[in-house]
Amino acid sequence: MGLAAAHRIIRVLGILALLISGASAQPSRTDLRLGFQRSSTLTALLKETGELERALAPLNLRISWHEFTSGLPLLEALNLGKLDFSADVADTVPVFAQAAGARLVYVAEEAPSPAAQAILVPNNSSIRSLADLRGKRIAVTKGAGSHYLLVVALNSVGLSFKNISPAYLTPADARAAFVGGAVDAWVAWDPFLSSAEQQSGARVVADGNGLANYKRYYLSTESFAKDPSDILQIIFDKLGQTGTWVKQNPQPAADLLAKAWGIEAPVIIQANSHRSYKVNLVTAQGLSEQQKIADVFLAEGVLPGKVNTGDVAIWHPQSEAAR
């Protein structure tokens, strides 16, 4: 071998060494920024027990928890890169995020829980049916599953938002307005729904049965979904295990959540009985109601333009992708 050839080999080996050392020097992910709401039951339990931290400990991952009052600001933060993973939001929320141009990834879903949201009125109200909502002032959280429930419930009796006076409020403000008599009805979801029933004697006019399936979705950013580690698989597994545990252990689950939420355990037991907590992988077929939601909101003038809910990214476990 000539001297020139030897020098070329040495230079190539040197470049390879630099590339290898540079790759190994890349910082590993050390933080998981997780957003959640009061209604994010399974996430709240994982936070309370520390089970997720223990599961992620081998990856040297530190979790920071960020609570939001409703789903839309939660997904806005996710889209802006301020979070890595979003605990469950109502099925309507990703539709609004998609309409706003957000590029998010569906990671998991909870099976339908139509009884976990309902249209409430005071117990002494003259409102007895959906038709009686005409002309009434109704509290609802914009973009939430309750928003969609109210639209389709009104449509089912030939009414629309033009026939009511909507008050777009967060759950806390809606509850205050409802208890104080500032609104005639409130479209709430659990645990706010069960709390209003048990603590203020609220009466259900209609829940989601036959109107809205009310599925809840867990999402992440595109970059986080591409992380080659087992982080999302671990989160998915822990959510599924926690969902099974809640349904099998209603009292211990309620006791834990009572501490976290400051709500009485009997209220939580009722709220949890309304939810499926069955965590599944997301499929294109399973997202079929998303398009209906988008079309209904477009017809109501709520969405700025048509949304194709089939144009979304869905996370697939590495084990599934390898098949």
- Given a cut of 60, whether residue 225 has pLDDT beyond it is yes
- Given a cut of 60, whether residue 317 has pLDDT beyond it is yes
| Mean pLDDT in residue range 109-125 | 97
pLDDT at 29: 55
Last residue in a domain, options 156, 172, 207: 207
* Closest alpha carbon to 41 in 167, 202, 189: 189
Do 96 and 125 fall within a single domain? no
Q: Which of 121-125, 240-244, 304-308 has the lowest mean pLDDT?
A: 304-308
Give the pTM. 0.84
| Mean pLDDT in residue range 296-306 | 90
pLDDT at 39: 85
CB 129 within 8 A of CB 159: no
Residue 18 lies in a domain: no
pLDDT at 319: 67
Residue 147 lies in a domain: yes
Per residue in 193-211, pLDDT tens?
999 999 999 999 999 999 9
- Higher-confidence residue of 2 and 63: namely 63
Tell me how far CA of residue 4 lies from CA of 7, 11, 14, 16, 270, in angstroms. Answer: 5, 11, 15, 19, 80
Do 105 and 224 fall within a single domain? yes
Q: Give the strands of the sheet with 185-189, arranged side by side.
A: 165-168, 137-140, 185-189, 117-121, 203-207
* Closest alpha carbon to 213 in 91, 56, 57, 80: 91
Last residue in a domain, options 207, 230, 262: 207
- Given a cut of 80, whether residue 280 has pLDDT beyond it is yes
Percent of the chain with pLDDT over 70: 89
Q: How far apart are CA 93 and CA 74, in angstroms?
A: 9
User: How many domains is the chain partitioned into structurally?
Assistant: 2
Domain ranges, residue 245: 31-112+215-321
- Given a cut of 80, whether residue 22 has pLDDT beyond it is no
Residue 7 lies in a domain: no
Q: Which of 2-6, 9-13, 46-50, 279-283 has the lowest mean pLDDT?
A: 9-13
Angle at 86 between CA 85 and CA 88, to 5 degrees: 140
Q: How far apart are CA 103 and CA 91, in angstroms?
A: 16
- Given a cut of 50, whether residue 5 has pLDDT beyond it is no
Do 146 and 269 fall within a single domain? no
- Given a cut of 60, whether residue 98 has pLDDT beyond it is yes
Q: How confident is the model at residue 147 (pLDDT cuts 50, 70, 90)?
A: very high
CB 150 within 8 A of CB 119: yes
Last residue in a domain, options 191, 207, 223: 207
pLDDT at 6: 37
Do 128 and 106 fall within a single domain? no
Locate 19 and state its tokens. Answer: 């590339």
Sign of CA dihedral 212, 214, 220, 225: negative
Residue 5 lies in a domain: no
| Mean pLDDT in residue range 127-137 | 98
Residue 6 lies in a domain: no
Per residue in 31-76, pLDDT tens?
899 999 988 999 999 999 999 999 999 998 899 999 998 888 999 9
CATH number reported for the structural domain that contains residue 289 in this entry: 3.40.190.10
pLDDT at 27: 33
Residue 10 lies in a domain: no
Question: E strands along 44-184, which residues?
Answer: 62-67, 85-90, 104-110, 117-121, 137-140, 165-168
Do 315 and 232 fall within a single domain? yes
Mean per-residue pLDDT of the chain = 89
